[in-house]
Amino acid sequence: MRLILLGPPGSGKGTQAQRLVHRHGIVQLSTGEMLRAAVAAGTPIGLQAKEIMANGGLVPDEVVVGIIADRIDEPDAKKGFILDGFPRTVPQAAALDELLKKKHLKLDAVVELRVNESALLARVEKRAEETRARGEEVRLDDTPEVLTKRLAQYRSMTEPLIHYYSERRKLLTVDGMMTIEHVTREINRILTALGALEPKEHEEPKATSRAAKKASKAAKKASKAAKKTNKKTTKKPAKKAAESAKKAARPAGKAAKAASKAKGAGKGARKAAKKPAKKAAKKAAGAANARKGAKVAKKAAKKLTKKRAKR
């Protein structure tokens, strides 16, 4: 993966470059650092740059491109790199294209972090005020005045690169005013969509994969244990509720039995009451018949007495 990050000062290029380096194992190539390293190593290009810088001159494009050519041949840059601070002009971009072409390499994308310049100035002003409030000295390169000059320089020299890479269909624009996390996610999303990320870069390291598997197994065991616990805890209240219901039902059952006995007793009482009543009725009926018989006998006796008296 070979990238260029574009954006004005304060847009977060350095932060996003470090995140890409850490996640994908590529290297960040800063022209300033590469020049200093080449000078310290005493390479032919480094010695040439050292002489120019000692005389207070600007290092020519061909020298910078030569340093980049040496750097991307080193083993740690084989997997990919991010160019930070280069190219700054259209001629530098054209020289870089020629270099990559000679080395049979391809630039995957140019990511532009677009920001609101007014918001950047407001941030710097606030930061400067907070620094002064703490009694600290404000850095000379961290003031609204310096940022204003750097922004004007960016617009005049570097902004034409946006049109240059847009024509070559390499430019991808990301809203740099989002949070750092959102910007990182968006950059990774568009790089994945482009196919700039190799499949291996999406695979987790073995150690991480094993740890993930162990964590997954532990999670499954914990889930099963939780289900068993839930079943037990739900059964216990159910048993208690059933026992309580049985206890509550016992008095009702006793009351029902008592009612049943009372009902039976009532039937017995009615039966018992009916028997004497029947006997009494029979006796009364017998007595009534006896009285009728006595009256008849009386009448018969009178008649018999009268007949005898006539004789």
CA distances from 27 to 83, 157, 181 (A): 9, 25, 20
Residue 79 falls in the annotated catalytic set: no
pTM value surpassing 0.85: no
**Identified catalytic residue from 139, 224, 254, 282:** 139
Residue 132 falls in the annotated catalytic set: no
Report the DSSP beta bridge partners of residue 12.
none
CATH superfamily of the 2-26+79-205 domain:
P-loop containing nucleotide triphosphate hydrolases (3.40.50.300)
Residue 127 falls in the annotated catalytic set: yes
Residue 88 falls in the annotated catalytic set: yes
**Identified catalytic residue from 79, 88, 114, 123:** 88
Residue 134 falls in the annotated catalytic set: no
- H-helix or E-strand containing 54? helix 44-54
Q: Positive or negative CA dihedral for 58, 60, 65, 71?
A: negative
The one-digit pLDDT tens for each residue of the chain (311 residues) are 899 999 888 888 889 999 999 988 999 988 878 888 888 888 888 888 888 877 777 788 888 898 899 889 999 998 899 997 789 889 999 999 999 999 999 999 999 999 998 988 888 888 888 888 999 888 777 788 888 888 888 888 888 999 999 999 999 999 999 999 999 999 999 989 887 665 444 444 444 445 555 656 666 666 666 556 555 544 455 455 556 545 554 654 554 455 455 455 445 545 544 555 455 445 545 555 656 655 655 676 577 666 666 55
Q: Where are the beta strands (DSSP E) in 32-158?
A: 81-84, 109-114
CA distances from 196 to 22, 109, 233, 271 (A): 16, 8, 54, 105
**Identified catalytic residue from 2, 13, 71, 170:** 13
Tokens read off for 130: 């907070």
